[in-house]
């Protein structure tokens, strides 16, 4: 993605490409696909990831800050196509020139000095229908044209890369890679570069006490690395985005090292940035060598989400993963610190609204956690021709259990899944695992329980338009929204039972060929 548009029709971009734009837009398209499955969204994600990994990936780990807009002293020349250049590039066997130029809206006038900015004039589905082609056949033609254009563009002078590795921006890209790894097969291997980048920042960008005597703690981080040389102390934004990335890594890998590192980063943030008097984080640490008359503190979203908002959300997630109340208390202090600002200008604080929504209604991004981090929850949808296969995975730590879906005593809370009231889907069947009947020390009668790794499997179909219609007469909803699933459970160990918990889950939609064997023990 280019940095921004320079015209009201969003046709002509400023041609610079920023790392943070790629990271945030990848996550946006993943979220859109989760709500309403669309292969085009995943296509955009995959193409953007492949671009970043091929053009902005530092060999030692980490990601470059940006690619320049200019080549040969002219903005955008690497990306512009005259009609003649375009025809020469795609004048290959099997390619219709008129089809190609119409598809990418190329003419002799162009947008900049007869140079065309390639863009799609309509959706792939509309173009395929206009050309009387099936969508797969049409997409093959599109990809051929793109391949020929890329081969020609590779011969041009490439824009220079700004090879700075910026801690915070890398945090955003690590999160994008980690979240993407859930949507694609393991062969895409998007998790490995995320882990490599996180380790690179952790191991090579630290400031030790001997290097920075002014720091009151014994560890902090540099903000920038350029050709192996570190400079400038990291700001709140860098720590907040990197903290978010470490939590994402823990959620997907379930390796404790990432959780421990997350907690360590929070300790450093507290030491360097926390406002003890009024709550919230200052944007910069105290610099005893160059004291500032005012330390700024803001939760205002600008080009990037506000660091205080990301910090509040991350603190809430640490509370859910560790059970430590101090994290939630700090998040609530952040909300209090900026409450009056949010009230006066609510539209400027989207990030803080999202964090507050998560505090009130729970985390909806998957994976998530129950029982103070002792239960890992994930949910996936496998799309079939006329139905969806839902798989909810619960991984309980040793000594923890939840009640089965059918309890043996009325006062117990069963583990159940439901659909939201406005859902256009309905369950055709639900298969809960077989319960274990276990006697615990605090109860004379045996209980029906789930322990260890547990799967709930269900098939969902569109609701019948006519309740009396047969299954064959069922009408699929046009462009259906993916279902949201309510999960209720109560977790206990040998000593205590926690309060019942309810989760609203938006399962990750996956292709059916990635489906595991859908069986329950």
Per-residue pLDDT of 7-19, as tens digits, reads 998 889 999 999 9
Q: What is the pLDDT of residue 214?
A: 46
SS3 67: strand
Return the pLDDT at 277.
Answer: 93
pLDDT at residue 476, as a whole number: 55
User: Which portions of the chain are predicted below pLDDT 50?
Assistant: 209-210, 212-217, 517-518, 521
396 CB-near residues (< 8 Å, 6+ apart): 371, 374, 375, 402, 450, 451, 452, 453, 454, 491
Residue 228, sorted as left (phi over 0), alpha (psi -120 to 50) or beta, turns out to be left
Q: Which whole-number Å values give the CA distances from 13 to 16, 66, 71, in the listed order? A: 8, 15, 15
- The burial of 25, by beta-carbon neighbours within 10 Å (0-12 exposed, 13-18 middle, 19 or more buried), is given as middle
Distance separating alpha carbons of residues 192 and 33, to the nearest angstrom? 23
pLDDT of residue 66: 97
DSSP string spanning 287-309?
-SSS--S--------SSS--HHH
From 387, 372, 353, select the one nearest 496 (Cα to Cα). Answer: 372
How confident is the model at residue 472, as a pLDDT?
A: 54
Express each pLDDT in 54-72 by its tens digit.
999 999 999 999 999 998 7
Q: What is the pLDDT of residue 507?
A: 96
Tell me how far the alpha carbon of residue 94 is from its chain's centroid. 39
> Residue 512: its pLDDT value, please?
59
C-alpha 217/C-alpha 272 separation (Å) is 8
Q: Report the pLDDT value the prediction gives residue 438, as an integer from 0 to 100.
A: 83
Q: Give the integer Cα–Cα distance in Å for 320 and 366.
A: 13
pLDDT confidence of residue 92: 81
């Amino acid at each position: 993605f280019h940095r921004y548009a320079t015209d009201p029709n969003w046709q002509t971009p400023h041609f610079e490409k920023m790392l943070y734009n790629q990271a945030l837009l990848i996550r946006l398209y993943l979220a859109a696909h989760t709500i309403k499955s669309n292969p085009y969204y995943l296509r955009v994600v995959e193409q953007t990831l492949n671009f970043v990994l091929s053009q902005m990936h530092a060999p030692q780990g980490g990601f470059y800050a940006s690619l320049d807009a200019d080549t040969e002293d002219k903005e955008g020349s690497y990306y512009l196509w005259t009609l003649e250049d375009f025809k020469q590039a795609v004048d290959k066997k099997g390619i219709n020139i008129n089809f190609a130029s119409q598809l990418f809206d190329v003419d002799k006038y162009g947008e900049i000095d007869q140079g065309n900015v390639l863009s799609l004039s309509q959706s792939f589905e509309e173009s395929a229908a206009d050309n009387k082609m099936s969508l797969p056949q049409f997409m093959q033609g599109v990809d051929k044209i793109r391949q020929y254009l890329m081969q020609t563009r590779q011969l041009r002078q490439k824009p220079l890369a700004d090879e700075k590795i910026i801690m915070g921006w890398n945090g955003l890209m690590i999160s994008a890679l980690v979240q993407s790894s859930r949507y694609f097969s393991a062969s895409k291997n998007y998790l490995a570069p995320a882990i490599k980048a996180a380790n690179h920042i952790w191991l090579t960008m630290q400031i030790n006490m001997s290097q920075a005597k002014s720091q009151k703690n014994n560890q902090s981080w540099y903000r920038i690395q350029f050709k192996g040389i570190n400079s400038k102390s990291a700001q709140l934004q860098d720590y907040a985005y990197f903290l978010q990335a470490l939590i994402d890594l823990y959620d997907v890998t379930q390796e404790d090292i990432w959780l421990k590192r997350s907690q360590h980063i929070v300790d450093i943030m507290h030491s360097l940035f926390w406002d003890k008097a009024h709550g919230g984080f200052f944007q910069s640490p105290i610099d005893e060598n160059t004291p500032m008359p005012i330390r700024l503190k803001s939760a205002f979203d600008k080009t990037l989400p506000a660091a205080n908002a990301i910090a509040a959300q991350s603190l809430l997630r640490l509370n859910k993963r560790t059970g430590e109340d101090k994290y939630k208390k700090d998040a609530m202090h952040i909300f209090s610190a900026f409450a009056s600002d949010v009230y006066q200008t609510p539209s400027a604080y989207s990030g803080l609204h999202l964090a507050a929504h998560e505090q009130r209604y729970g985390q909806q991004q998957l994976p998530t956690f129950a029982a103070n981090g002792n239960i890992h929850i994930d949910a996936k949808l496998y799309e079939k021709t006329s139905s969806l296969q839902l798989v909810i995975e619960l991984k309980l730590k040793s000594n923890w259990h939840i009640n089965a879906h059918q309890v043996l005593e009325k006062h117990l809370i069963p583990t159940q899944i439901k659909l939201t009231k406005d859902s256009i889907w309905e369950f055709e069947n639900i298969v809960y695992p077989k319960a274990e009947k276990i006697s615990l020390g605090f109860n004379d009668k045996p209980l029906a329980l789930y322990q260890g790794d547990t799967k709930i499997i269900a098939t969902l179909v569109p609701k019948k338009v006519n309740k009396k219609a047969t299954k064959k007469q069922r009408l699929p909803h046009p462009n259906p929204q993916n279902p949201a699933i309510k999960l209720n459970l109560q977790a206990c160990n040998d000593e205590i039972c926690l309060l019942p918990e309810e989760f609203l889950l938006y399962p990750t939609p996956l292709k059916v060929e990635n489906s595991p064997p859908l069986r329950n023990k």
